[in-house]
Structure 1
Amino acid sequence: MSTPLLNYYEAIERASEQMLEAARGGNWDQVVKLEGACAVLINQLKQAAATRELGADERQLKTRIMKRILVNDAEVRTLAEPWLEDLDQLLAGRPKMLH
Structure 2
Amino acid sequence: MLNSMEMISIYENVAEITDRMLDAAKSADWDLLTELEMTCYTKVQEIKNKDTELDLPLDIKNRKIAIIKKILADDKEIRNITEPWMLQLSKLMKNSESNRKLSQSYGAN
Match of 1:7 in 2: 9
**Identical-pair percentage:** 29
Q: In structure 1, what is the Cα distance between the partners aligned to 2:48 and 2:8?
A: 12
In structure 2, do the counterparts of structure 1 residues 54 and 28 end up closer, same or farther at CA, with 3 Å as the change threshold? Answer: farther
What SS is found at the alignment partner of 1:53?
coil
In angstroms, what is the RMSD of aligned CA positions? 1.9
Match of 2:84 in 1: 82
Match of 1:97 in 2: none
Match of 1:42 in 2: 44
Question: C-alpha displacement at 1:54, in angstroms?
Answer: 5.0
Moved over 4 A (4+): none
Between Structure 1 and Structure 2, the one with more helix by share is 2
In the superposition, the TM-score normalised over structure 2's length comes to 0.77
Give runs of aligned pairs for residues 15-34 of structure 1, distance below 5 A: 15-34=17-36
What SS is found at the alignment partner of 1:93?
helix
Q: In structure 1, what is the Cα distance between the partners aligned to 2:11 and 2:55?
A: 12
Larger mean CA deviation between 13-22 and 73-82 belongs to: 73-82
Match of 2:104 in 1: none
**How many residue pairs align between the two structures?**
93
Question: C-alpha displacement at 1:93, in angstroms?
Answer: 2.1
> Which string of whole-angstrom CA distances, capped at 9 and with x for unpartnered residues, describes residues 30-55 of structure 1?
111111111100111122214x6251
Q: Which has the larger radius of gyration?
A: 2
Return 5+ residue gaps in structure 1 as ranges.
95-99
Larger mean CA deviation between 59-68 and 85-94 belongs to: 85-94
In the superposition, the TM-score normalised over structure 1's length comes to 0.84
